[in-house]
Structure 1
């Protein structure tokens, strides 16, 4: 059973999503919320596997909520479900920790497939969004390394961009959690950034991964 929490300020669309997920035997809705003001508390209380998150909501934006949820609950998979498809919001959401980005105009069954995909550890994007991400990469020279990152630091940075938690990075690269922290500290120093979100954004915009 895939436990899903929904943050969406449009009452009608929120109801439609609830009905859609309830119609599938492998899914359950742990809670639905019209804003993200208490997103972390809601997620801690509901213990969802996947969070569906709108961007434009009253009080706290969905992107800011993603950042807070990822800090408190790094294993929760967050899928953006929004009307916005401009490149800045896509990158900001990914940098905040979202593992998928799909548009509200996506057919219902495709939304369900996206939830299953991110729950299984993958990433999901509406095709038009994926094209924007690819186009952004193509505008920059691939795999540049002007910051003199070591091979292992580049691997750690790539896992950060992929949305892995520190524990997952350690497991995927077969290194200790302490070594992960050391590599990340060096990455921050070399990229001249102060947070994971800043590091991911810089890596994406400069073709570092």
Structure 2
């Protein structure tokens, strides 16, 4: 079972993603947050295998969180789940595991989980 942490400033999207991942039977959501600042500490404490996160937010908070987490936990996989394509180039340059556009669809999320499984 994949151990995951979720970060999304939109609580509705956060809970929807948590529900979809738990329902997949492949992911154990060990933590989630709508606050980027608190998320970093929790992620470092919990050491998840995967971070599902939205890069949207005030300024570059999402990008900074992703870079800091990757620096501290180099083996963590990051899957960006966002409404915008604006960070796609950054994601490609930083070798994120996947880039999923909202609204979330089960088929697309399943493809992401398959990528994680194949990459492990």
Number of equivalent positions? 120
* d(CA) in 2 for partners of 1:16, 1:73: 26
| Mapped contact 1:9–1:35 kept (Cα < 8 A) | yes
Give the alignment of 1:13-162 within 5 angstroms.
Answer: 13-58=13-58, 61-86=61-86, 89-121=87-119
Q: Which runs of 4+ in 1 moved over 6 A?
A: none
* d(CA) in 2 for partners of 1:121, 1:45: 24
**CA deviations over 1:53-105 (Å, ceiling 9, x no partner):** 1011247621111111110000000011001113xx21123334522211012
Task: Give structure 1 stretches of 5+ with no counterpart.
Answer: 123-209
TM-score of the superposition, structure 1-length normalised? 0.52
In structure 1, the residue corresponding to 2:90 is in which secondary structure?
Answer: helix
**Structure with greater contact order relative to length (CA < 8 Å, sep ≥ 6):** 2
In structure 2, the residue corresponding to 1:111 is in which secondary structure?
Answer: helix
| Mapped contact 1:80–1:98 kept (Cα < 8 A) | yes
Greater fraction strand: 2
* d(CA) in 2 for partners of 1:83, 1:90: 11
CA RMSD of aligned residues (A): 2.0
Task: Give structure 2 stretches of 5+ with no counterpart.
Answer: none
**CA deviations over 1:118-155 (Å, ceiling 9, x no partner):** 34318xxxxxxxxxxxxxxxxxxxxxxxxxxxxxxxxx
TM-score of the superposition, structure 2-length normalised? 0.85
